Amino acid sequence: MSYNMREVMVIAAGKLLENNKSVFVGTGMPMLAVLWAQKVHAPNLIMVFEAGGIAPRMPLLPVSVGDSRTFHKAVSASSMHDVMSLAQSGYMDYGFLGGAQIDVYGNLNTTVIGDHEHPKTRLPGSGGSNDVGSFCWQTLIIMRQDKRKFAATLDYITSPGFLTGPQAREKSGLPKGGGPWRVITQLGVYGFDDTTKKMKLISLHPGIKTEDILENSSFPIIIPDQIPTTQEPTEEELKTLRDLDMFNITRR
């Protein structure tokens, strides 16, 4: 069965989510990846949505984090205040976000391109993404990679990654031990170096070379000597994804 790289992205991201853990879910591809993970290998993955849905069993992919489907058979139809408090109290294992720009330390911009007061492009803004990046123990980011999006300097920091490097999160008052964990793009999967907190390549997607990684980033990425290849999606995995993807998120 043929596949495209957006499908590889979503399935690779879904495989990172463990069963019996909680995830604060953002709009778009994060919702699709989380729903796929729950259907395929993590039936007890606890989804939490900004509008207040906690642990739903969604029959279909929601349009947004405020869609009524995010409350379907949920253990709680709560509030934004309650779910943000859950994150602040340390109960969110994963945060799952998209972004318009990311830098070498995993800081995210979803606010503006250009000057804040006179931007070239006004983006959706933070919503709950600052809280997610600040308080979830491990943040996953799924986004397309090119030189503009993998930016040497962000036009605005909406959600904190490792800020300016080692110890910067802790010095700013954020909980010790949290921060960005994985970045998934159409080219590969990335993590962050334990010492420098800079982005490093973890795996290359099928057919992608290290040259593609470097040509599509405005900052240096740590490239290990040995780089595994991301596992190709199986026919069953693809069928499940396509059945769930009612809005053709992976076909845009």
Q: Which residues are catalytic?
A: 50
Determine if residue 45 is left, alpha or beta; phi over 0 gives left, psi from -120 to 50 gives alpha, anything else beta: beta
Phi first, then psi, for residue 244 (nearest 5°) are: -80, -30
**Half-sphere exposure in the Cβ direction for 191 (13 Å, CA):** 9
Q: What is the DSSP string of 99-163?
A: -SEE-TT--EE-SEEE-SSSEEEE----TTHHHHHHH-SEEEEE---STTTB-SS-S--SB-SST
In terms of DSSP bridges, do strands 46-49 and 22-25 run parallel, antiparallel, or are they unpaired? parallel
H or E element at residue 200: strand 199-204
DSSP 3-state of 19: coil
> Two tokens at 143?
């986004």
